[in-house]
Structure 1
Amino acid sequence: MKKYLIVLLLGGSLLSGCKKNFLDLTENPNYPSTATAVSLLAPAEVKTAAIAVDPGLAIVNVWMGYWAFSPNYAVNQDSRDYRFTNTLGQSTFTNIYSNAYDYQKIIDFAVAQSDPALEGMGRTMKSFLMQWAVDIWNNVPYSQAFQGTANKAPAYDDGKAVYEAIYDDLTVAINKLKTASSFPDATQDLIFGGNKTKWIKFANTVKLRILLRQSGRADRASYITSKLAADFPSSGGTISSYFLQAGEGAVVNPGYVNTDLKQNPYYANFGYNAAGTKTGNNDFYKASSYSVNFYFLQNDLRLFYVAKPVSTGGITFFGYHFLGNEMGSQGNGAVTYSDNLDNSPIGGPNGGIPYRSATDPQPIMGDFESLFLQAEAVQRGWFTGNAKTIFNQAQLQSFIFDFDRVDGAGSGAAYQAMLTPTADNNWDMATDKIKLIITQKWAAFNTINFIEPWTEYRRTGYPPIPLSSSGSRGPRIPLRLKYPQTEYDLNGSNVNTQGTIDQFTSKIWWMP
């Protein structure tokens, strides 16, 4: 029997977002005067990792062709037509700003305590988050934000101005990191364990991502050229010395365990609870036919990482059945879904092979993301190097992250070698190298990051994701989210200066 549910696309989707857990900071920004910068770092890093897979943005995975709605639910028409209210993404907005405020407090305490390492880390992470904020909402509060009770209604800044400000703040962060002689240990810094070189590379990699976002605008060419010359001169090192390399991803694992509120954030929201009962999101979202077919047609074993086999029907892949649904459709048509015929968005136990678990690490910026960025930068002529080699390494690191933890060292490389070469996965066969890079980045991000694949699609148009099959759908995949209702309720005088927002026509500033 179908479970009739009108999905209202509330900010927290079907479940709430970042719940209280063993490393959460208080949501009320009243930090004790005795706090130290280092005591705030690990909890803040855990929150950043959770934002990458915030359930408030679950619908974006449907837009991106990863997921579809379960035929077991009656989904309202707006959800299938790319139409939504100001509540969509509201929890994500709150979480980004709460987390950025955490890092602002780290900066403030670090300055007071003369700790350049923590100041550099705080500035890096705050800039990282604010890039996401601009990428989702364009103009956002920045210059007057993060003041706590001193300013509860910050003005909105131009998205381009925020981008330029966070880029410059990353320069400050790098200089602070370079001068620091003492760094936190691995229990205090969950991302890099206090590794100075990796933190500097991470800040540089965020800079590179900021510049690549602007690459589609001809009027930003001189800005990009000037920043590349100033920050990454060939005399200062090679591309590998500037940016995160294989094995150097910004990944968090505070000790996730299979206990409620202490699980990996993706698994907790889209997988199973500690008792093994699947979550509401797991039941509501299913793998899409587009993603299932994409991996299947390329003999890409990452299908096992992102989807759970069904008992029958669909396509047969290494002896397992996979069945996807279309966005906009209320049913596959060929098969009746039931609890034992459930193509889930979480890998989970696949025939006894648990590629996804409650204890998985959660990437903030995986090494594969950094390498895909570098491959694109070299292909665009920004750096010298071998774009093909970097691309192949990026693809490999995606396979390694997905499989080596379970199947052992070398598994990812073996599975990568099993790919059927196509223009969507093979450098030599692809005539459009940028399309290839972005498409493989899309394949790597599935269930790992909700923000970046949508952002890269909006920047490049790749991969060519089919639009909703609903006859009343909007004209395109949304360009942005609307400002959250909480902003209209609490900061109305400022958010109203932004005018009427249309998800189909209101662009992010870096869009051509």
Structure 2
Amino acid sequence: MKSIKNVTAGLLAVLLMAQAGCKQEFLDINNNPNQVTAATPELVLPDALANTGAYMTTSFYFLNLWMGYWNWSGNYSINLSDKNYQFTNSFNQGIWTNGYINLKNYNYIDQQGAALNQPLLQGMGKIMKAYHFQILVDTYGDIPYTQALQGTGAITPSYDKAQDIYDDLIKQIDAGLALLAKGSGTRNPGTNDIMFGGDIAKWQRFANTLKLRILLRQTEKADRAAYLQTQFAAIKASGYGFLGAGENAQVNPGYTNSQNQQNPLYGAFYAVNGSPTTTNNQYKANAYALSVLKQTKDPRIAAYYRPVGGTGTNFNGTNFGTVDVQVNSLVSDIGPGVLTGVDKPAVILSSHESLFMQAEAAQRGYITGTPKALYQAAVTESFVNSGRSAAEATTYLAQAGVANVDFDASTNKIATIITQKWISENGLAPFEAWSDYRRLGLPADLPISQEPSTSVRQIPVRLFYPQTEYSTNATVVNAQGTINQFTSKIFWIK
């Protein structure tokens, strides 16, 4: 994969993201990567959104291991570096490369939207750039930002400070919102918007929800308190609100049961003929998450995992890094609430995540609303999104005195909100679970790898810059100094 800096601006505007596990997307606009093709922003948008869906659902399998959701199968032997956190800068380089490639697509939408006087598309491009840049900051810290996405105009882009980028992301989202408001009566992408179908009010709520995520990342930084209050006041003044029940930010370009046209996560686990793939055989249930679900009599256990032994009630898993491996037939597979179907949408930001964030923000006093009501709505939405029922959620929430279920009985309501949020992200949004864990240390008893060679008993707080940067932007990236995966913290980590 080429570095973002070595690909021309015109090509990257229509370049298909080489997503892990996906060979060629059916929305690819330019089938010949050596021929530059002009495309309107309206035509680039669905491909970019589809790539974002694939990126978020298939790039972070390893975080399901770290976050206690999945473990490697006993039928496979894996590298020690995959079990003891001692990875290198070749580890998951696609997170960086594919992220920047798709950012180029959104930058094209932004720029061409401006050139063609299409403020709705321009606003969408700006908002989605903020979405992807936050993921990169949260993964690596300081990254190329102001000099990024310029092609040959800046082939060795400088690195911006992570906090400076965060502050500018809020400004870019605000600029996107202003364009969306300005765009009334102008060209709407309609069905080419495969996330919201051209529903601008939902785009506005999505943008505010993205701002909510960015701001909540910084709650543990005392020096950011005044800034957060100001920004939350601006969100309230906007009047747009946040994504609510039934309002998943999700994409579906027309997934179908054909080669390379399935839902990207489902297609990674099941072939077109329905047979399990190698990925399916590699990843199985983690005993930690199973224990949490069993202790609280959580019916989502059958959404996140499949029973073993044909009984329908026996769920079994192993701990990450264990030397006591078990063969596949004795360990639960990943369940139907995660692998929801070949033609189901790919989620970019779920409605239940939005509600959990609102519950936390209300509990902290940042927004109006009743924390308990928002918390219960979030749990209920998690049930619905995983294929369970709202009635089951009501029964589950009625368990008096059960830790991290009964909100009234909770002595640490933030911990209860975040623990339930962690449950809801099982296999679906491990990046957000990792981010909350780095920010708040929750769940507090999340186990460390049991691999005996694990010398630093700590879940990493970041990834290394990829080898491609050291090959093509060596002077700049080396100026970042020696990076340690355990101590080189992202700025918002306490």
TM-score w.r.t. the length of structure 2 is 0.90
Tell me the distance in 2 between the aligned counterparts of 1:112 and 1:29: 25
Which residue number in structure 1 is paired with residue 99 of structure 2?
A: 96
Which residue number in structure 1 is paired with residue 403 of structure 2?
A: 423
Q: 1:26 to 1:435 in 2, by over 3 A?
A: farther
Tell me the distance in 2 between the aligned counterparts of 1:30 and 1:455: 39
Tell me the distance in 1 between the aligned counterparts of 2:188 and 2:21: 29
Q: 1:192 to 1:331 in 2, by over 3 A?
A: same
Which residue number in structure 2 is paired with residue 272 of structure 1?
A: 270
Aligned-pair CA distance for 1:31: 5.3
Which residue number in structure 1 is paired with residue 37 of structure 2?
A: 32
Aligned-pair CA distance for 1:58: 1.5
Which residue number in structure 2 is paired with residue 329 of structure 1?
A: 322
Aligned-pair CA distance for 1:186: 4.0
Q: 1:472 to 1:360 in 2, by over 3 A?
A: same
Tell me the distance in 2 between the aligned counterparts of 1:489 and 1:471: 33
SS in 2 for 1:363: strand
CA contact (8 A) 1:216 1:510 kept: yes
Cα offsets for 1:393-417 (capped at 9, x unmatched): 11111111111xxxxxxx5212213
SS in 1 for 2:284: strand
CA contact (8 A) 1:52 1:450 kept: no
Which residue number in structure 2 is paired with residue 287 of structure 1?
A: 285
- Is 2:368 aligned against 1:379? no
Cα offsets for 1:152-211 (capped at 9, x unmatched): 321111101111111111110110101112353542101111111111111111111111
**Aligned pairs (5 A) from 1:66-105:** 66-105=69-108
Which residue number in structure 1 is paired with residue 334 of structure 2?
A: 345
One-letter code of the match for 1:151? A
Tell me the distance in 1 between the aligned counterparts of 2:224 and 2:36: 40
Tell me the distance in 2 between the aligned counterparts of 1:478 and 1:25: 38
Aligned-pair CA distance for 1:134: 0.4
Cα offsets for 1:267-315 (capped at 9, x unmatched): 122x211012212121111110001111122221212222122117xxx
SS in 2 for 1:364: strand
Which residue number in structure 1 is paired with residue 241 of structure 2?
A: 242
Which residue number in structure 1 is paired with residue 206 of structure 2?
A: 202
Which residue number in structure 1 is paired with residue 487 of structure 2?
A: 505
Aligned-pair CA distance for 1:467: 1.1
CA contact (8 A) 1:21 1:261 kept: yes
Aligned-pair CA distance for 1:488: 1.0
Cα offsets for 1:367-413 (capped at 9, x unmatched): 1111111111110001221011111111111111111xxxxxxx521
SS in 2 for 1:290: helix
- Is 2:31 aligned against 1:58? no
Aligned-pair CA distance for 1:77: 2.4
CA contact (8 A) 1:267 1:346 kept: no
Identity %: 40
CA contact (8 A) 1:246 1:368 kept: yes
- Is 2:24 aligned against 1:20? yes
One-letter code of the match for 1:452? E
Which residue number in structure 2 is paired with residue 492 of structure 1?
A: 474
Tell me the distance in 2 between the aligned counterparts of 1:433 and 1:330: 36
Aligned-pair CA distance for 1:432: 0.9
Tell me the distance in 2 between the aligned counterparts of 1:74 and 1:278: 18
Tell me the distance in 1 between the aligned counterparts of 2:149 and 2:279: 32
Tell me the distance in 1 between the aligned counterparts of 2:125 and 2:191: 17
Q: 1:355 to 1:138 in 2, by over 3 A?
A: closer
Which residue number in structure 2 is paired with residue 251 of structure 1?
A: 250
**Aligned pairs (5 A) from 1:157-172:** 157-172=160-175
Which residue of 135, 140, 154 corresponds with 1:137?
140
CA contact (8 A) 1:268 1:358 kept: yes
Tell me the distance in 2 between the aligned counterparts of 1:454 and 1:260: 32
Which residue number in structure 2 is paired with residue 471 of structure 1?
A: 452
One-letter code of the match for 1:370? S
CA contact (8 A) 2:119 2:179 kept: yes
Tell me the distance in 2 between the aligned counterparts of 1:278 and 1:331: 24
Tell me the distance in 1 between the aligned counterparts of 2:189 and 2:133: 26
Tell me the distance in 1 between the aligned counterparts of 2:342 and 2:331: 20
- Is 2:367 aligned against 1:369? no
Tell me the distance in 1 between the aligned counterparts of 2:428 and 2:236: 29
Q: 1:30 to 1:97 in 2, by over 3 A?
A: farther
After TM superposition, the structure 1 stretch with the greater mean CA deviation from structure 2, 425-434 or 92-101, is: 425-434
One-letter code of the match for 2:334? P
CA contact (8 A) 1:38 1:188 kept: yes
Cα offsets for 1:8-29 (capped at 9, x unmatched): xxxxxxx934431102355959
- Is 2:436 aligned against 1:456? yes
- Is 2:158 aligned against 1:155? yes
CA contact (8 A) 2:285 2:331 kept: no
Runs of 4+ with deviation above 6 angstroms? none
Tell me the distance in 1 between the aligned counterparts of 2:405 and 2:198: 35
Tell me the distance in 2 between the aligned counterparts of 1:385 and 1:276: 45
CA contact (8 A) 1:18 1:54 kept: no
Aligned-pair CA distance for 1:355: 6.7
Which residue number in structure 2 is paired with residue 442 of structure 1?
A: 422
Aligned residues: 469
TM-score w.r.t. the length of structure 1 is 0.87
Aligned-pair CA distance for 1:346: 4.2
Cα offsets for 1:309-353 (capped at 9, x unmatched): 2117xxx8xx42111001111334xxx514x444223438xxxxx
Which residue number in structure 1 is paired with residue 307 of structure 2?
A: 309
**Aligned pairs (5 A) from 1:176-187:** 176-181=179-184, 182-187=186-191
CA contact (8 A) 2:359 2:372 kept: yes
CA contact (8 A) 2:67 2:430 kept: no
Tell me the distance in 2 between the aligned counterparts of 1:164 and 1:38: 28
CA contact (8 A) 1:70 1:330 kept: no
Cα offsets for 1:52-77 (capped at 9, x unmatched): 1234x211110000011111122232
Cα offsets for 1:219-262 (capped at 9, x unmatched): 111211222233423xx54xxx4211112221111221122211
Which residue number in structure 2 is paired with residue 229 of structure 1?
A: 233
SS in 2 for 1:347: coil
Tell me the distance in 2 between the aligned counterparts of 1:307 and 1:24: 33
Cα offsets for 1:421-478 (capped at 9, x unmatched): 5222221222111111111111111121231111111111111211112233122100
Q: 1:29 to 1:142 in 2, by over 3 A?
A: farther
One-letter code of the match for 1:343? S
Q: 1:31 to 1:415 in 2, by over 3 A?
A: farther
Which residue number in structure 2 is paired with residue 173 of structure 1?
A: 176
